[in-house]
Amino acid sequence: MWIQEQAISNVVSLLNPSDMTTILTMLGKGEIKRSIQRELMQVIDTAYSIQRRSEQDVWHKLVAPKRPEQKDLTRVAGELRQAEAKQKTVKAKLQKLADVTETGDFKTLTDETLIVNIAKARRTGEDVKFGRSVLPDGLDEALDVVYAAVRTEVLSLLSAQNEATGKVLAAYDFHVNQLKQATRVLGFEDVAVRLANLFAKVDHASLTNRMDGAIDHVLLDEFQDTSPAQWQVLRPLAIHACDTSAADRDGPSWQATRSFFCVGDTKQAIYGWRGGVAEIFDAVTNEIAGITESEQNVSFRSSPDIIDFVNRLFSNLHRHPMATDGDAKNPADKSAHEAESIRKFAKQFPPHEANNKSLSGYVQIETSHTVKDGDKAANDDACFNDAAKRIAEIHQQSPHKSIGVLTRTNGAVAQLIMRLEALDIEVSQEGGNPLTDSAAVETVLSALMMAEHPGDGRWRFHVEQTLLAADPSLNENSIRMRVERNGIAQTVEYLAGKLAPKCNPRDTLRLKQLTRLAIAYENNPGPRLRDFVRLVREKRVERPQRAPVRVMTVHQSKGLEFDVVVLPQLDGPLTRSSGNCVADMKSLSEPPSGITRYIGQTHWHFLDRRWQLAFGGQGASSMTEALCLLYVAITRAKQALYIIVQPSKKQDFQVKTAASLIYHALGCDADPTADNEPLYQSGNPDWYKTDKQTAKQVVKDSEPVKQVEIRFTHASSASRQRANRLPSASQH
Query: DSSP strand E in 469-558: where?
Result: 540-543, 549-553
Under the banding of pLDDT at 50, 70 and 90, the label for residue 278 is low
Q: What is the pLDDT of residue 353?
A: 96
Task: Find the angle CA(545)-CA(397)-CA(670) to the nearest 5 degrees.
Answer: 110
Least confident of 352-366, 420-434, 474-488: 420-434
Q: What is the pLDDT of residue 32?
A: 54
Q: What is the pLDDT of residue 709?
A: 41
The three-state (H, E, C) secondary structure of 259-284, written as one string = EEEECCCHHHCCCHHHCCCCCHHHHH
Question: What's the rounded mean pLDDT across residues 563-588?
Answer: 88
Is the pLDDT score of 628 beyond 90? yes
Is the pLDDT score of 723 beyond 60? no
Backbone angles phi, psi at 450, to 5 degrees: -65, -40
Under the banding of pLDDT at 50, 70 and 90, the label for residue 719 is very low
Give CA–CA dist 260/241, Å, rounded: 6
Query: Per 3-state DSSP, what percentage of the chain is helix, strand, and coil (rounded to 5)?
Result: 55, 10, 35
Please give the CATH superfamily to which domain 192-294 belongs. Answer: P-loop containing nucleotide triphosphate hydrolases (3.40.50.300)
The DSSP bridge pattern shows strands 562-567 and 403-407 to be parallel
Across 498-507, 554-563, 640-649, which has the greatest mean pLDDT? Answer: 640-649
Task: Find the angle CA(611)-CA(613)-CA(618) to the nearest 5 degrees.
Answer: 95
Closest CA to 257 of 205, 214, 321: 214
Give CA–CA dist 231/200, Å, rounded: 11
Is the pLDDT score of 54 beyond 80? yes
Under the banding of pLDDT at 50, 70 and 90, the label for residue 614 is very high
Q: What is the pLDDT of residue 706?
A: 45
Question: What's the rounded mean pLDDT across residues 489-496?
Answer: 93
Distance of CA 491 to the CA centre of its chain: 36
Give CA–CA dist 618/126, Å, rounded: 29
What type of residue sits at position 22? T
Q: Which residue would you say has higher pLDDT here, 23 or 120?
A: 120
pLDDT digits (tens, 9 = 90+) for 148-194: 999 999 999 999 989 988 988 999 999 999 999 888 888 888 888 88
Give CA–CA dist 580/617, Å, rounded: 13
DSSP 682: E
Q: What is the pLDDT of residue 623?
A: 94
Mean pLDDT of the chain: 86
Give CA–CA dist 299/93, Å, rounded: 61
Closest CA to 536 of 442, 447, 451: 442
Q: What is the pLDDT of residue 67?
A: 95
Please answer whether residues 500 and 731 qualify as being in contact, where contact means their C-beta atoms are separated by less than 8 angstroms: no
Please answer whether residues 630 and 309 qualify as being in contact, where contact means their C-beta atoms are separated by less than 8 angstroms: no
Please give the CATH superfamily to which domain 299-426+546-701 belongs. Answer: P-loop containing nucleotide triphosphate hydrolases (3.40.50.300)
Neighbours of 249 (CB within 10 A): 8
What are the DSSP calls for 345-394, one per residue?
HHHHPPPPEES-TT---EEEEEE-PPPTT--HHHHHHHHHHHHHHHHHHH
Under the banding of pLDDT at 50, 70 and 90, the label for residue 33 is low
| 192-294 and 299-426+546-701: identical CATH topology | yes
pLDDT digits (tens, 9 = 90+) for 36-52: 777 788 788 888 888 88
Residue-level length of the chain: 732
Under the banding of pLDDT at 50, 70 and 90, the label for residue 714 is very low
DSSP 83: -
The DSSP bridge pattern shows strands 353-354 and 298-299 to be parallel
Give CA–CA dist 46/685, Å, rounded: 46
Q: What is the pLDDT of residue 522?
A: 86
Is the pLDDT score of 512 beyond 80? yes
Q: What is the pLDDT of residue 562?
A: 96
Is the pLDDT score of 1 beyond 50? yes
Give CA–CA dist 644/633, Å, rounded: 13
pLDDT digits (tens, 9 = 90+) for 126-152: 999 998 888 998 999 999 999 999 999
Q: What is the pLDDT of residue 291?
A: 83
Please answer whether residues 431 and 410 qualify as being in contact, where contact means their C-beta atoms are separated by less than 8 angstroms: yes
Give CA–CA dist 496/624, Å, rounded: 47
Under the banding of pLDDT at 50, 70 and 90, the label for residue 6 is confident
Across 4-8, 138-142, 456-460, 701-705, which has the greatest mean pLDDT? Answer: 138-142
Is the pLDDT score of 279 beyond 80? no
Give CA–CA dist 605/143, Å, rounded: 15
Q: For the whole prediction, is pTM greater than 0.85?
A: no
Domain boundaries, given as residue ranges, for the chain: 1-185, 192-294, 299-426+546-701, 437-530
Neighbours of 534 (CB within 10 A): 14
Q: What is the pLDDT of residue 695?
A: 46
Please answer whether residues 428 and 551 qualify as being in contact, where contact means their C-beta atoms are separated by less than 8 angstroms: yes
